[in-house]
Amino acid sequence: MAADHKLAPDTLQTLRKVSTDTITGTLMKIAGMRTRAIRNVRPINPQRCEFVGPAYTLRYVPIREDHTDRASAVAPGSRLHGKLDEIPAGSVLVIDMGGDETSGALGDVIAARLIALGVVGVVADGGMRDGRVIADMSLPVFCRAPAPPPSPRSLMAVGVQEVIGCGGVMVEPGDIVVGDGNGVAVIPRHLADEVAHKGAEQEEVEVWIKAQIERGAPLSGHYPPTEEVMARYRREKGQAKKSASSASR
């Protein structure tokens, strides 16, 4: 399972500095992965949309009417009753709703419990209840659309910590989920250390390249950078480090 891979101590912190744009591009480069961005989701509150953490998965299926009284994950008769109280701190709750926008996965009461547990984000490829209230809470939430009806209107919660699909992306428990103003990316856990390292370096390189372009340098040769341009970047970076080290003495 993905959760078996132990991350380097600084991986999650490093990923906080890497955009989902860079993460998805890096995954294409190092592993040929083109399906790592969750589609058709947006933050309830664009001012509160950043998170990094391992996935804790929740799966819904279409409701069967004779199960309506135990369809909700928090219903006393549900097979998942109590499971949402077991989510580890630091997790991102990723919910497979099959794209159903006609009912809401969660409401503000469950969101409050997730905050108390230390959950750092929620991603659902369907609807979300109590959007106006959740927007004012501290929990970053991505979904497809607001939906007033509760989940048992159309869905039944059937599993946690299973492999799921969310917005066209396969998600394993423990995969690393990153959210920001550009969207949500899912990193296979065994690639997270490499993506963090190479992604952070790419962010630095692109800041430098953009500065060159703003000074009048042509795109050709700079973007993407040639080996000659990269050699110049490394020289300037080394000189900057030496200057900073001298100034701190």
Confidence at residue 3, expressed as pLDDT on a 0 to 100 scale:
72
The DSSP letter of residue 72 is S
Dihedral sign from CA coordinates of 32, 142, 163, 148: negative
CA–CA separation, 189 and 8 (whole Å): 11
Q: What are phi and psi of 127, to 5 degrees?
A: -85, 170
Topology of domain 2-191, CATH: Glucose Oxidase; domain 1 (3.50.30)
- The tokens for 120 are 């750092």
What residue has token string 């909700």? 72
61 Cβ neighbours under 8 A, 6+ residues apart: 98, 155, 156, 158
pLDDT of the chain, 249 residues: tens digit per residue: 467 899 999 999 999 999 999 999 999 999 999 999 999 999 999 999 999 999 999 999 999 999 999 999 999 999 899 999 999 999 999 999 999 999 999 999 999 999 999 999 999 999 999 999 999 999 999 999 999 999 999 999 999 999 999 999 999 999 999 999 999 999 999 999 999 999 999 999 999 999 999 999 999 999 999 999 999 999 998 887 777 777 766
CB 237 within 8 A of CB 209: no
CA 197 to chain centre: 17
Confidence at residue 216, expressed as pLDDT on a 0 to 100 scale:
97
CA–CA separation, 209 and 223 (whole Å): 7
Cα–Cα nearest to 67, from 154, 147, 126, 128: 154
Secondary structure element (H or E) that encloses residue 52, with its range: strand 51-62
The pTM for the full model equals 0.94
Cα–Cα nearest to 92, from 195, 202, 15: 15
Domain-wise residue ranges, the chain? 2-191, 195-247
- The tokens for 225 are 């950078």
Confidence at residue 249, expressed as pLDDT on a 0 to 100 scale:
65
